[in-house]
Amino acid sequence: MLENRRFVIIGFFALIGIIYLFRLFYLQVLDESYSIESSSNSIKRVTEIPFRGQIYDRNGKLIVYNTPVYDLLVTPYKVKVDDTLRFCKVLGIERREFDSLIHVASVYSKMKPSLFLRQLSKEDFASIQDIMVDYSGFEFAKSSMRTYKAATLANTLGYVSEISKKQLEEQEEPYYRQSDYIGQTGIERIYENELRGKRGTKFVMQNVNGVYKGAWKNGELDTMAVAGENLYSGIDLEIQQYADSLMMNKVGSVVAIEPKTGQILSMASAPTYDPNILATRHFSKNYTALYRNPYKPLFNRPVMASYRPGSTFKLIQALIGLQEGVITPNSGFTHANCPIGCHVHPATPNVVMGVMHSCNPYFYNVFRRIIYNNKITNTFKASAVGLDDWHDKISKFGIGQQLGIDLPSERKGNLPDKKYYDKIYGENRWKFSNIYSLSIGEGEILITPLKMANVAAIIANRGYYYTPHVIHGIGEGRKLKPEFAVRHESGVAPQHFEPVIEGMLGAVEGGTARRSRVEGISIAGKTGTSQNKRGKDHSIFIAFAPVDDPKIAIAVFVENAGSGGSAAAPIANLIIEKYLTGKVTNKALEERIMHADLMKDVILPAPPKPVIKDTTKRRNSIPFVREKPTEQSSKKVINWFKI
Amino acid sequence: MAESKPITKNVDWMVVLIYIACLGIGWVNIYAAVYNPETHSSIFDLSNNAGKQLMWIGTTFILIICILVIDYKFYETFSFIIYAIVIFLLVVVLFAGSNINGSRSWIKFGAISLQPAQFANLAVSLAISKYLSDPAISLSRKFKDYYPILGIIALPSVLILLSNETGSMLVFASFAIILYREGMPGFIPSIGIVSAMLLIISLLYNSWYISGVIILIAGIAIWAMPVMTRRRGGLIATVLVATVMISIVFGVDFFMNHVLQKHQRGRIMVLLDPDSDPRGIGWNVIQSKIAIGSGGFSGKGFLQGTQTKFDFVPEQSTDFIFCTVGEEHGFIGTAIVVTLFVLLISRLVILAERQRSRFARVYGYCVAGIFFFHFLVNVGMTIGLMPVIGIPLPFFSYGGSSLWSFSVLLFIFLKIDAQRPFTLSRG
């Protein structure tokens, strides 16, 4: 009967009770491993933070590594400082700071150690280690600091800093804890999971006074910290620094790519700063200064700044025109009947001359033929269909979309299509005559320096590209991310590239970029002059070399520096020469470019605070950025907190 | 008349004594858990959990008096209304709840925060008892009689899940006990237990090996069974059972690797092997076991615990209060607590069986089942026999909502039991 089920139920309850009693008896009485010899000993978990992975350049030179430093931790309830003044003197802090630091630590927890002072150098540690023994409640923890061999690549590498409250809360799986470091931007952020390594844990026993009493269970449960994976980049540190020196006192970007692989050789964003200044404990102070700087040194221009491509865009127009068959290599156009002006130059009876002299009417006509290359008679409808066709073909060059480089915040730029103009003018209310500025890379089209460097790489490869990437090897196996091994086609057949490349060669030899040609190297290039609302034109140049076996494709953007031939072309050609031959022959040009100050013409955006308006002082705010921070960190302990 | 008799005469004093013992031991251990050796704070200090718990105990006594004064018929008559109110509160909390520790399940009245999910047990117990009090309902014969019960449980379950309090929802599993008592065929809980065992085995070993063993056993069973049985469907039944078991094994594998999120998977895997992740999820379990294990036979003494002092064990005064008992009072302390609980729930079953009305009996079993489940899971997780699920140990863990809800749950039953001599048998 059902009443009898009560015995089953009570029996079940009793059974569980007995099982638990046996388990407790085993845990508490039989199993010796839990009963630590002295009842006052306790087990403490010590976390070992592994070294972050290092980053190498293409020649095996270290770019980023770690310097061991020491953090000073305090456990408030254990603190016994008889002579506070002497203690403060040893640490080089003031009494007031001592009190506030202790207070902050106590608020966090009286029982648990928390950070007192961060990143003491090895020398500082050595000098105070002995003295600190006299003060209970303080302990040192090994830590490490990101260190940069050369003061370059700041924006590409990004920086590492203490995890923010928001990041702490938003992490998908709980890994980070308060005061952990995390890669915030650039490579440090994109490859955070590879770089951070694996934390280790040690269980140690200690007595009531916190004195170490050996490993618990002989270290059976301990796990070793595993250092993060090293990253191998395609960056050539020497070229990178050379690019930086050429971009000194200019605002803009240099992006150099190895066309055959898509590896980034150099990526300069100017003005820049020494990445070491964001690795020290003075992070917040230095960051604020960078953040407030009107030239926005934290803005990673190669992937984030949008410009009109100007005449460099004519290359793509010519390629599409040839591929579509609307022109042949021998098509010629004159200046007649063209609404766009041009400069004085020899006749342009073919594509080669059109590219070489960057003839505006020539490409007006090419673009006109591309747009009207359909059977629709209504010019409005024909333009709409033609533009969308054109849009698809241009997209294959990576314009108007993210290329997928391994850097955060890559901008798409803008590649207008039918929808875009419908929104501005209304459907069927615009036609070729409204959009012809696109033919010469002006108007609504926007690109980033990275995209133009990629276009140079496509032309160098005669039709294909690999997604540009900074890191081509992860870890010991030098694993390449699969997406960087995918060959992308531009949709233009290889033979159509030849006349365009010949024109680019001509542009460097005797056309718009002739002033910066390099003896002995065949460089194919194209200047661009990007109109903008904020003053003088931006100077643009894209190129690749050598023409027959391209080893480098490059894009240089210099803001408000005038025509492409004046600033961008010389910088690009100097870098190409340096990369291919290891030296520079035209020392006079090098000297002139390095010392050219093109910042005076840069129109700054309205500053957020009126304080910065004083234009005479503008220059002075930048030099601090180039300060050598290594000197800072080697300063005496006495000073380091006050900096 | 019943009302004229003093309640003190009929109330079951054994349960009351166990209850008071639990409260007392719990309160002292909460004090030990939050005790700071540096500041020597007092057990009456309202700024720590021990002081606050004393306040909660005080208010609980007022609640108990109210319960004992209210007419016993009230609970049966208003059971569905109480259920509706709690459901309403659970809905309200979804929209207006305050977020504490990642779950939106608290309602704030001034300085007091209440967790309606804690009262869902009470509401569901009353509703099930009321439903089963209809003598026409039979759980052993009519399968459709189960639907309303499943509905009564499912509604608050969904609401509690939405407010992210998985632990409170799992407690509803305890209603299996009363269903079994009221006629649920014995094979259903057996299947549950076998499935649970299969589940653990399939987590530990390769699915293919287990399947092989199941097929082997099934083969032996078919070979060994009498020919008649085999012809009468024994063969089909065995094959069917084996197939279902194998699909459970692979289902678990799939569920673990494709359905569960990483931290949920971690909680289960740590149960099987806490050392697999000593620095992450295993930390709680390892530290809790160290604390209990280091207590030895007689413990380190009151306020002398070191593991539990320095925040090694998380949730010290709430979910892991049993660690404090284990560390400071050793095996003697833990054995007393385990014994108290087994005595309490067994006594509740005995009381339930002597009821004359089915409502009272069912309710008594519900109460026993709920206490049992909390005891099973809470103590189990601190000694590494159960996964870490955040549910309190009744009367021990710090917390106003849980203390109130457990006390109300218990004393409603004691009140009904006290009126037993004056009720008529109904079925």
Say what percent of chain B tops pLDDT 70: 85
If one compares A528 and A109, the residue with the highest pLDDT of the two is A528
A24, A41, A174 member nearest B334 (Cβ)? A24
**B6 vs A490: which has the higher pLDDT:** A490
Between positions 184 and 243 of A, the ones with CB within 8 A of B are 199, 201, 203, 208, 220-221, 223
Per-residue pLDDT, averaged over A459-485, amounts to 91
**pLDDT average, residue stretch B59-80:** 91
Q: Are the CB atoms for B420 and B360 separated by under 8 Å? A: yes
* pLDDT the model gives residue B5: 57
A-chain CB neighbours of B335 within 8 Å are: 21, 24
For tokens 């099987």, the residue is B272
Whether B24 shows a pLDDT value over 80: the answer reads: yes
Which pLDDT tens digit goes with each residue over A302-343?
Answer: 999 999 998 999 999 999 999 988 999 988 888 888 888 888
pLDDT band at B198 (very low <50, low <70, confident <90, very high): confident
Per-residue confidence (pLDDT) for residue B311, from 0 to 100:
54
Q: Are residues B247 and B271 in the same domain?
A: no
pLDDT in the model for residue A117: 80
When scoring A6, A28, A78, A80 by the number of chain B Cβ atoms within 10 A, the one with the most, hence best to mutate, is A28
pLDDT (0 to 100) of residue A626: 36
B276 and B239 in a common domain: no
Give me the pLDDT at residue A139, please.
79
Residues B13-21, mean pLDDT to the nearest whole number: 94
- What's the pLDDT band for A217 if we cut at 50, 70, 90? low
CB-nearest partner of B181 from A5, A16, A77:
A5
Q: What is the residue range of A299's domain?
A: 237-595
Measure A48 CA to nearest chain B CA, in Å. Answer: 11
The residue from B224, B241, B259 where one domain ends is B259
Task: Note whether residue B427 is domain-resident.
Answer: no
Name the 3-class secondary structure at A427: coil
Distance CA B108, CA A91 (A): 47
Q: Residue A617's pLDDT band (boundaries 50, 70, 90)?
A: very low
Amino acid at B249: V
Give B140's contacts in chain A (Cβ within 8 Å).
2
Lookup: tokens for B90? 């659970």
Q: Is A634 helix (H, G, I), strand (E, B) or coil?
A: coil
More confident residue, A538 or A280: A538
The mean of the pLDDT values for chain A is: 83
Enumerate residues 43 to 102 of chain B having a beta carbon within 8 A of any beta carbon in chain A: none
A171 touches chain B (CB under 8 A): no
Of residues B111 and A529, more confidence is placed in A529
* Contact status, residue B291 vs residue B283, Cβ threshold 8 Å: no
| Last-in-domain residue among B259, B276, B310 | B259
Same domain, B193 and B273: no
In a domain, A118, yes or no: no
CB-CB under 8 Å, A36 with B294: yes
Joined together, the tokens standing for residue A545 give 């070399």
Task: Answer yes or no: is A425 within a domain.
Answer: yes
Task: Report which of residues B7 and A192 the model is more confident about.
Answer: A192
**Spatial CB neighbours of A225, under 8 Å, sequence gap ≥ 6:** A48, A49, A50, A197, A198, A199, A200
Q: B187 in contact with A at a CB cutoff of 8 Å?
A: no
Domain end position, chosen among B259, B279, B311: B259
- Our CA-based measurement puts residue B5 at a distance from the nearest CA of chain A, in whole angstroms, of 30
Find the mean pLDDT for residues A552-581.
90
Query: Is pLDDT at A127 greater than 80 in this prediction?
Result: no
Summarised one tens digit per residue, pLDDT across range A405-439 is 999 989 999 999 999 999 989 888 888 888 888 98
pLDDT for position A206:
65
Contact check, Cβ <8 Å, A24/B372: no
- Looking at the fold, whether B288 and B407 belong to one and the same domain comes out as yes
CA distance A448 to A480: 25
Residue with the larger pLDDT of the pair B361 and A633 = B361
On whether both B200 and B156 belong to a single domain, the answer is no
pLDDT at A615: 42
pLDDT for residue A203 is more than 50: yes
The answer, yes or no, to whether residue B202 has pLDDT greater than 90, is no
**Residue type, position B63, single letter:** L
State ipTM. Answer: 0.87
Give domain status of residue A529, yes or no.
yes
- Could you give the number of structural domains in chain B? 2
Q: From chain A, pick out residues whose CB is under 8 angstroms from the CB of B297.
A: 28-29
Residue A449 has pLDDT above 90, yes or no: yes
Nearest residue in chain B measured CA to CA from A217: B290
- Range A50-59 average pLDDT: 90
Give a yes or no: residue A37 inside a domain: no
The reply to whether B178 and B213 lie within a common domain is: no
Residues B77 and B156 in one domain: yes
One domain, residues B308 and B254: no
Judged on CB neighbours under 10 Å (0-12, 13-18, 19+), A595 is exposed
pLDDT band at A633, cuts 50/70/90? Answer: very low
Say if residue B114 is in the same domain as residue B23: yes
pLDDT of residue B362 exceeding 90, the answer is yes
Q: What pLDDT is attached to residue B393?
A: 93
Could you say which of A20, A35, A201 has the minimum Cβ distance to residue B296?
Answer: A35
Q: Which of the four pLDDT bands, split at 50, 70 and 90, describes residue A622?
A: very low
Q: Which residue has the higher pLDDT, A487 or A599?
A: A487
Chain A partners within 8 Å of B296 (Cβ): 28-29, 35, 39
- Name which residue leads in pLDDT, A408 or B264: A408
**What is the Cα–Cα distance from A354 to A331, expressed in whole angstroms?**
9
Is residue A215 included in any domain, yes or no? no
The domain in which residue B215 lies consists of 186-259
Pair (B160, B138) in one structural domain: yes
**Are B36 and B13 in the same domain?**
yes
Instruction: Tell me the pLDDT band of A213, cut-offs 50, 70 and 90.
Output: low
Q: Which band of pLDDT confidence, cut at 50, 70 and 90, is reported for residue B39?
A: low
CA A56 – CA A43 distance, rounded (Å):
40
The whole-number average pLDDT for the span A74-99 is 78
Average pLDDT of the residues in A83-111 = 78
B251 pLDDT more than 50: yes
Contact residues on chain B for A42, CB-CB shorter than 8 A: 306-307, 310, 312
CA distance linking residue B26 with residue B56, whole number of Å? 12
**Which of B36, B183, B296 shows the shortest C-beta gap to A29?**
B296
| Helix-helix angle A379-395:A360-371, to 10 degrees | 110
Q: Any idea of the CA torsion for A283, A289, A290, A294, to the nearest 10 degrees?
A: 170
* Average pLDDT of the segment spanning B65-88: 91
Q: Give the gap in angstroms from C-alpha A614 to the nearest C-alpha of chain B.
A: 49
Burial class of A556 by CB neighbour count within 10 A (0 to 12, 13 to 18, 19+): buried
The model's confidence at residue A616, banded by pLDDT at 50, 70 and 90, is: very low
Contact A45 B283 (CB under 8 A): yes
Q: What is the mean pLDDT of residues A280-306?
A: 86
> What is the distance between the alpha carbons of residues B146 and B154, in angstroms, rounded to a whole number?
12
Q: What CATH code is carried by the domain that includes residue A505?
A: 3.40.710.10
Residues of A in contact with B283 (CB under 8 A): 45
A95-110 average pLDDT score: 79
Tell me which residue of A588, A568, A467 sits closest to A527, measured CA to CA: A568
Please tell me the predicted confidence (pLDDT) of residue B231.
Answer: 73
Q: Among A344-348, B266-270, B296-300, name the one with the lowest average pLDDT.
A: B266-270
Tell the residue number behind the tokens 């995390």, with chain if given: A182
Let me know if residue A27 belongs to a domain.
no
Bigger pLDDT: A15 or B38?
Answer: A15
Helix/strand/coil percentages in chain A, nearest 5:
40, 20, 40
Q: How confident is the model at residue A125 (pLDDT cuts 50, 70, 90)?
A: confident
Q: Show residues of chain A in contact with B380, CB under 8 Å.
A: 20
Q: 3-class secondary structure for A522-584?
A: CCEEEEEEECCCCCCCEEEEEEEECCCCCCEEEEEEECCCCCCCCCHHHHHHHHHHHHHHCCC
Q: Are A2 and B181 within 8 A, CB to CB?
A: yes
Looking at the fold, whether B106 and B255 belong to one and the same domain comes out as no
